[in-house]
Each structure stands twice: as structure tokens, then as C-alpha cells.
Structure 1
């Protein structure tokens, strides 16, 4: 009986390996969280049964508690991932036509928060300050970063070169 539970545990552990390791072994399975959770349950049940067959009830209880934690964590991660997917679906995919049109010089001054009498140094300082706040690597969006880049480039092109 112990050998059967050991075999099932090893089989379940094999299918819990990351997808890359399975592909190297020539096994192509879709990486689905439900399939993974099923194999986790099978693994923990077989480990618990092995411990009980060896009359090691305290170890079986410990494995049961660890299994609850692992499977609960897996469920929580799936829940959070689906919540993120819902949040992303609420974001409009295309900006409004007015926002996607070519930027005017007045809009560029407004985007950078500067007045028309600002110099190239002021433009560069405002650009660095804003990009430090809204860069995509810091939680901002590509769209906002592109608008700030467009504003800086437009204003630098419009200003006469400094001597």
C-alpha cells in the first residue's frame, strides 16, 4: 500500500514541475492553475496516506496543514489574478480622437506645466521631473510618457537655440 501512495506522490510531483522542465523532458501540458491545483491535492493526499500507513499521524497532520496553506495560496493568487484582469478590462484601449491628434505648442506648454517664456533648461527640468513621476517603470503609462516626450520635443524645436 505504501508503494502505491509513493508512486502517486511521485507522479503528482512530476506534474507540478514548471512547464519548462516538463518541455525539456518531452512532456507538453498546458499550464493551467486548476490542473496544477488538482495535482497538488493528489500529492498531499498521497503523502498523508503514506504517513498514515506508516502510523505517523503527527506527520500526516503537518502535511495536511501545509497542503491547506499551499492550496489556499494557489486559490488566493488565482483570485487576485482574475481581479487584475477585470481591472484591465475597464481601461479604455484607445484614447479619444482629441487626445490622439497632433499636439499644439500651447498644449505642450500646458503638459509640461510651463509658461511660454520658459527656456530650454526649464523644459529639460520639467521633463525630468514629470518622467520621474509617471514613467512606465514607476507605475505610469506609456501614453502619458509619450505625451511628455512629444511636448518636450515640440517645444525644443520651437525655441530658438541658446547661445
Structure 2
């Protein structure tokens, strides 16, 4: 019983010390953290492309959609298309629009590959 009271008192003291330290140094730390976060460019931590689709498919966009170089071999294009379509197929809950863009990207790269 006595040990519970001692532990409770130590816990409350720790909370008090932490609260005092936060009030003393917290505002400075918050402003420093905010400045640091504001200096980081938007999208730096995202592996996804920010922005929408172009009105007309181009090599760059097709490569971004499939996650490959626009000059990749036919085998790479086929493998990337299969991998992405398995994840985004409309029958498995994916978006029909995204699936259409994936197919369009594959067709665009296939059409522009050297025969």
C-alpha cells in the first residue's frame, strides 16, 4: 500500500517536472520545429507524383504511371503493367479511370518502342 502511494507521488512529480520543462522550452522548440518543417519542400517525403494527369498522354507521364523508364524494353513494360494492374484492377476494388490510364500508358509506350 505504501509503495503504491510512493509510486503515485513520483509519477505526479515527473508529470509536474515535464510540464514545467514544456512550458519553459516548448514554445521555443515548437517555433524551431515549425521553421524547420516549413523549410522542407512540399512532397519531399512522398514517393507519389503530385498533380493530375496531362490532357494527352506523353512519354514522361506514361513512365511515371508505370514506374519505369519511357525507353524500357517490352518485357519491362509488360511486367510493370501486370504488377500495377493486379493492384488497381476495378474487379478488385480499383478505380476504372486509373485502370484506363494504366492501359493507356502501356499502349503509348508499346506504340513508341522501336520495333
TM-score by length of 2: 0.52
CA displacement 1:111-147 (0-9 Å, x = unmatched) = 0000234100000000000000000001101000000
Q: Which runs of 4+ in 1 moved over 4 A?
A: none
Q: How does 1:89-104 map to 2 (within 5 A)?
A: 99=53, 101-104=55-58
Of 32, 50, 64, the residue aligned with 1:110 is 64
Q: SS of the counterpart of 2:61?
A: helix
SS of residue in 1 equivalent to 2:85? helix
Within 1, Cα distance between the matches of 2:74 and 2:63? 12
Q: Which residue of 1 aligns with 2:80?
A: 126
For residue 140 of structure 1, give the secondary structure of its aligned residue in structure 2.
Answer: coil
Do the aligned residues in 1 keep the contact of 2:70 with 2:109 (CA within 8 Å)? no
**How big is each residue's C-alpha offset from its partner over 1:12-35, in whole Å with a ceiling of 9 and x where there is no partner?**
xxxxxxxxxxxxxxxxxxxxxxxx
User: 2:94: which partner in 1?
Assistant: 140
Aligned residues: 64
3-state SS, counterpart of residue 105 of structure 2 = helix
TM-score, normalised relative to structure 1: 0.37
Q: Point out which structure has higher relative CO (alpha carbons under 8 A, 6+ apart).
A: 2
Tell me, yes or no, if structure 1 residue 154 matches structure 2 residue 108. yes
When the two chains are superposed, the root-mean-square deviation of aligned CA atoms in Å is 1.4
Query: What is the distance in 1 between the residues matched to 2:84 and 2:71?
Result: 19
Give the Cα separation in 1 of the matches to 2:54 and 2:97: 10
Higher Rg of the two aligned structures: 1
Unaligned 5+ residue runs, structure 2? 1-51
Give 1 or 2: higher helix fraction: 1
Equivalents in 2 of 1:153, 1:105: separation in Å?
11
1:135–1:116: structure 2 CA closer, same or farther, 3 Å change rule? same
